Structure 1
Amino acid sequence: MTARITIDHSWSATQVKGRLAMLFQGHFVKQAEQKFSFTYLQCVQSSRALFVPDTPSEGWTGEQVLRISEHGALYILSHHDYSETESEGSASETLVSTVDLDTILRAFRQENVDPGLKTHIQVRRTDLLHGALEVVRRPDFCFRATPVISFSGEEPDGHEAPVGEFFRLILLELQHSCVFEGLPGSLFMTCNFTALEERKYYEAGVLIGWSLAQGGPGLCCLHPALYQLHSCTDVKLLSPSLCDWVSRCGIPEICSANSDEMPAIYSRLVKHYIYDRVTKMISQFTEGLNSCGGLWDMVQSHWEVFAPVMTSAPQQPLSLEEFKQLFTISFSTSDAQLRADEEATAGHWETILTLVRDGKAEFSFEDLLTFITGADRLPPLGFPRSISLCFYSQDASMQDVRLPHAASSSLELYLPRGMAGAVDLL
């Protein structure tokens, strides 16, 4: 097998090993516990010569792989059907890494997104989904291009509008469109033949794929299962209307079924409702996802790690430490008094975060995150940089007090200097 492996020198050792695992596992690892190994071949700078570098005593790490590939291409000779005793002591490594979502999406972006390619998009906040679909329908639409967003009627502040906020808002609108139905956060595909003919399921897939390719959120709202009909053990307990509905779903024997047959009926009903009745819609939807660099094929190969991105899988709330790590504080360096006032405010900010953690504020860390960044959860690949905690001075000549504010496009939160106490800042 010959393949091109693109490795970013900013990656960690874990990301390097995960990238190799993702590349090779689809070809060699077919069964549980089955393993394969590989030998690194290093190229001599300014020549075509290859050699097997000495294996470190502790075995190869991702960091060492980066080091030997620093001055040229890295070639990997793969071995499969090797036993552990055969490979032991040789210049090869048995790959046992697991692949995480971060590694998969970073590799996908590196191979599919062109940072130098831009597409300028102007949309109205009151009709974001329609504006986004107009972009997708353009003959020259390319998911690889980075969108540069501007909102109609809003004065530019010197920064591009945040791409993450743009995608979060259009995917929220998409959840209420004709392609999905069900309770918020627990959605199914609709069986809408008009939408199917108009390729709306395809467009929905493209929007989700476009968002993930550009570092935005996933849909995060698909229901992982139907309601728990299997808890019923006796057909006599079902209402006549429910029996009629089950019969119309292609299971007419429901009326005469006994208790032993209920699990099988439930299984067939779930399959019909979730998949069979909307097979064409699902096919069109995944076709749209695959139009973005084969994204759906990648999701299928690593469906477990993509569950939090595609479904309403429970999310752990942000912890105090996770939230604090998102920030860097921009203190003044030239004025001692300003610095003292800023340190006082920063201390009150710390107190407020503790109150949020303890449930003593009227908002959560997720609410704060949305206010500051436009994203209601951490993006799959994180933010492009830290959030800057900045400060401003109140103008004594103004009657109105200027409230804390954020610039989501530049990831900045502004707090007033010299606050008297945490309660005032809160």
Structure 2
Amino acid sequence: MRGFRRVSYDPNLMICVKFSDDMGRNEEGVDLGGPRREFLRLLMETIARSPMFEGKENSKNFALDSTALREDWYYVAGKAIAVSLVHGGPPPNFLSPTVLCLLVSGSANPKLEDIADTKLLEKVKKVSESTTLEDLEKSHAPLLNYLANAGCLRPMRSIRDRDLLVQDIVMFQVIHRVQGPFQRFCEGLKTLGVLDQIRRHPDSFRPLFCYEPNILTADLVDDLFIIHLSPEGSNKRAAEEMVFTFWRDYLQDAEEDEGPSKLEKILAFATGASVVPPIGFSPTPSVQFIHKGDDGFSTVTALLAVCFEKGGVWFDIN
């Protein structure tokens, strides 16, 4: 929050990130993209878990939080998401289709399931399931105080009033109640022209804002890395081709043992991002080889390193 609010902060310039250990000492390494992507990944995860949003894990709507309003966190969240999309971070694919519709057109038709308050949801479900006027009056009674505050309080004269009442409650709870937070979020999302682009190209932004399964496989991770091999015919090349199979075996084993979640951790360790950023990786992740021995050919000591900005993955050929 402090960083984004600094007068000197310019979203047009690239962020340079330094992580520190438990003692406050800076970790070694220069930010060539990895630490920045890791910071933005952690930032998106934190925003998704924050009290600014509520609902299902992969389909969240705005929540009304007085502290977030007072501290203007909604604006900062919108700004942070815009910066992440433009500067190579992950997308905020935890938002509901309702939120995306609001961002694109300013209006939406939320569903009953969009209500995150479980107690309120149960009461409204009873209203929606009423089949007689008597049932409707009974299910309507526990909501009288809420309806008065929401501006939805009116007498129920026929069963036909049921659907209109449910619609009014859902619209108030999911949209009208959080107009203040939504407007501040939009102001933040205008950073770097992102909101304007969302409205121009909603179909392109839909998979970035709304969750869609994107299952990593060993082959997909393998294809993301450029392999730097020594000249063909050299002793080093022969050792590298032998060792490189261990990297591919490792990815296959990870997929078979733990599935996509393990591959996401490997990708995050190597690049700082657990998914491929919308603008791709820059620089491209690579695989390089480190040799021990004067002639560069030793099947015992040849090592493979998956090289990136903040660490490495090592395999001994044994």
Q: What TM-score does the superposition give when structure 2 sets the normalisation length?
A: 0.72
Match of 1:316 among 211, 214, 231: 214
1:195 is aligned to 68
> Equivalent residue for 2:299?
none
Instruction: Report the identity percentage.
Output: 25
Conserved? CA contact 1:143–1:213, under 8 Å = no
Residue 329, structure 1, aligned to residue 227, structure 2:
yes
Q: 1:285, CA displacement in angstroms?
A: 0.9
Give the structure with the larger helix fraction: 2
Q: Aligned match of 2:193 in 294, 319, 337?
A: 294
Compared with structure 1, are the counterparts of its residues 342 and 404 closer, same or farther at alpha carbon in structure 2 (3 Å cutoff)? closer
Match for residue 257 of structure 2?
A: 360
Alpha-carbon distance in structure 1 between the residues aligned to 2:156 and 2:76 = 43
Q: Does 1:272 align with 2:172?
A: yes
Whole-angstrom CA distance in 2 between matches of 1:328 and 1:264: 58
How far is 1:244 from its partner?
A: 4.7
What do residues 118-161 of structure 1 show as CA deviations (whole Å, max 9, x unaligned)? xxxxxxxxxxxxxxx21211112211011122223233234545
Instruction: Give 1:278 shift.
Output: 0.7
- Aligned partner (choices 387, 392, 405) of residue 285 of structure 2: 387
Aligned to 1:252: 153
**1:365 shift after superposition:** 2.6
Deviation at 1:281, TM superposition (A): 1.1
The aligned residue for residue 268 of structure 2 is: 370
What are structure 1's unaligned runs of at least 5 residues? 1-132, 396-402, 420-426
Match of 1:180 among 53, 65, 69: 53
Structure 2 counterpart of 1:150, one-letter code: K
Asked if 1 retains the 8 angstrom alpha-carbon contact of 2:304 and 2:316, the reply is no
Structure 1 position 233 matched with structure 2 position 129: yes
- Aligned-partner Cα distance in 1 for 2:168–2:275: 36
Task: Measure the CA separation in 2 of the matches of 1:369 and 1:259.
Answer: 55
Alignment partner of 1:210 out of 83, 105, 116: 83
Code of the residue aligned with 1:314 in structure 2: it is E
> Number of aligned pairs?
276
Identify the residue that residue 154 of structure 1 maps to in structure 2. Answer: 26
Paired AA for residue 28 in structure 2: P
User: Per residue, is there more strand in 1 or in 2?
Assistant: 1
State how far apart, in whole Å, the 2-side matches of 1:259 and 1:304 are: 39
Q: State how far apart, in whole Å, the 2-side matches of 1:168 and 1:147 are.
A: 14
The 3-state SS of whatever aligns with 2:17 is strand
Structure 1 contact 206–288 (Cα < 8 Å) conserved: yes
Does 1:306 find its partner at 2:205?
Answer: yes
Contact 1:390–1:415 (Cα < 8 Å) also in 2: no
Q: What's the offset of the Cα at 1:193?
A: 3.5
CA–CA distance in structure 1, aligned partners of residues 142 and 205 of structure 2: 34
Distance 2:217 2:176 in 1: 41
Closer, same or farther: CA 332–321 of 1 in aligned 2, 3 Å: same
Please say which of residues 229-238 and 279-288 is displaced more in the overlay: 229-238
Match of 1:344 in 2: 242
Q: Which has the higher contact order (CA 8 A, sep 6+)?
A: 2
Residues 226-261 of structure 1 show CA distances to partners (whole Å, capped at 9, x for unaligned) of 5537974326488678645762543334x8375544
Q: Which amino acid aligns with 1:331?
A: L
| Deviation string, structure 1 residues 248-282 (Cα, Å, up to 9, x no partner) | 543334x8375544443333232212210011111
1:215–1:380 CA contact under 8 A, matched in 2: yes
SS at match of 1:148: coil
Cα gap change, 1:250 to 1:375, in 2 (>3 Å): same
Residues 222, 257 of structure 1: alpha-carbon distance in 2 compared, 3 angstrom cutoff: farther
- RMSD between superposed Cα atoms in Å: 3.5
Residues 130 and 139 in structure 2, CA contact (< 8 A), matched pair in contact too: no
Q: Within 2, Cα distance between the matches of 1:368 and 1:210?
A: 24
| Residue number in structure 2 paired with 1:134 | 2
- Do the aligned partners of residues 158 and 303 (structure 1) sit closer, same or farther apart at CA in structure 2, a change above 3 Å counting? closer
Asked whether the equivalents of residues 52 and 62 of structure 2 are also in contact (C-alpha less than 8 Å), the reply is yes
Distance 1:220 1:166 in 2: 17
